[in-house]
Structure 1
Amino acid sequence: MKLSTSIRKRFRVSNKVKKSAPKERFRLCISRSAKNISAQIIDDSKNMTLLSASSVEKDVKSGAKVNKTELSKIVAEKLAKKAQEKNITKIFFDRGIYKYHGRVKIFAETLRKNGMDF
């Protein structure tokens, strides 16, 4: 079965992160669409999602209309708050098929400003 380019790219990036990640760090997986952005903090040793944040959630959407870059900042701040409540500070950033540019870069920089280490 032949895999598409985007699926191959996602496997390549995610598997590099999974192989090099020590057990005390979790993986932050990000996904975005044309209008929304979401992220999950995943524990690969137990194969379960610990935290998640998305721009589709009601408390994020209930605010005033903002552009997509501001939306990614809001979601990053929300995820950082949840992570600090559970004492998660060290993670690996899994960008998936997306380049480290634009909304993904702003998301990562906002997480770093709010105390996440990767």
Structure 2
Amino acid sequence: MIKKIKGTPKRPRLYIYRSNKHIYAQIIDDLTSHIIATSSSIAIDLKNHIKQTKNCETAKLIGKSIANKCIKKGILKVLLDRGSRKYHGRIKALADSARENGLDF
């Protein structure tokens, strides 16, 4: 049984998707079906800083990037949506990095 997590304008949802090669993070407001910010290991602005796309160091960079984008838009509180994945490895590294850089969840 999977719980449905709903983001609001005051507290949007931080959705993390991990594939075998890449990791993606999106800030989503579910009431308006609007993606507020996004960052991933295939983003052009991060490609120069990433040596390998499927490790925890890359996840930390993406967590820092998504946190900075949220803070610029005035979003400090989010809900973490990790899908059906365990809170471990790259997902944990991204979430911890986002917390260290100012997001609250």
Q: TM-score, normalised by structure 1?
A: 0.81
**In structure 1, what is the Cα distance between the partners aligned to 2:24 and 2:35?**
13
Q: Cα gap change, 1:101/1:46 in structure 2, threshold over 3 Å: closer, same or farther?
A: same
- Alignment partner, residue 90 of structure 2: 103
Share of identical aligned residues, percent?
40
**In structure 2, what is the Cα distance between the partners aligned to 1:94 and 1:26?**
10
- Alignment partner, residue 3 of structure 1: none
The answer (yes or no) to whether the contact 2:50–2:58 under 8 Å persists in 1 is no
Moved over 3 A (4+): none
**Cα displacement (A) at 1:38:** 0.5
**Cα displacement (A) at 1:64:** 5.2
The answer (yes or no) to whether the contact 2:8–2:30 under 8 Å persists in 1 is no
What number of residue pairs does the alignment pair up? 104
User: Aligned Cα RMSD in Å?
Assistant: 1.7
**In structure 2, what is the Cα distance between the partners aligned to 1:35 and 1:59?**
18
Q: Write the letter of the residue equivalent to 2:89.
A: G
Q: Cα gap change, 1:23/1:83 in structure 2, threshold over 3 Å: closer, same or farther?
A: closer
**Cα displacement (A) at 1:24:** 2.0
**Cα displacement (A) at 1:78:** 0.7
Stretches of structure 2 that go unaligned for 5 or more consecutive residues are: none
- Alignment partner, residue 74 of structure 1: 61
Q: TM-score, normalised by structure 2?
A: 0.90
Mapped pair 1:42 → 2:28: yes
Stretches of structure 1 that go unaligned for 5 or more consecutive residues are: 1-8
In terms of fraction of residues, the more helix-rich structure is 1
Q: Write the letter of the residue equivalent to 1:39.
A: A
**In structure 2, what is the Cα distance between the partners aligned to 1:75 and 1:24?**
22
**In structure 2, what is the Cα distance between the partners aligned to 1:64 and 1:53?**
13
- Alignment partner, residue 89 of structure 1: 76
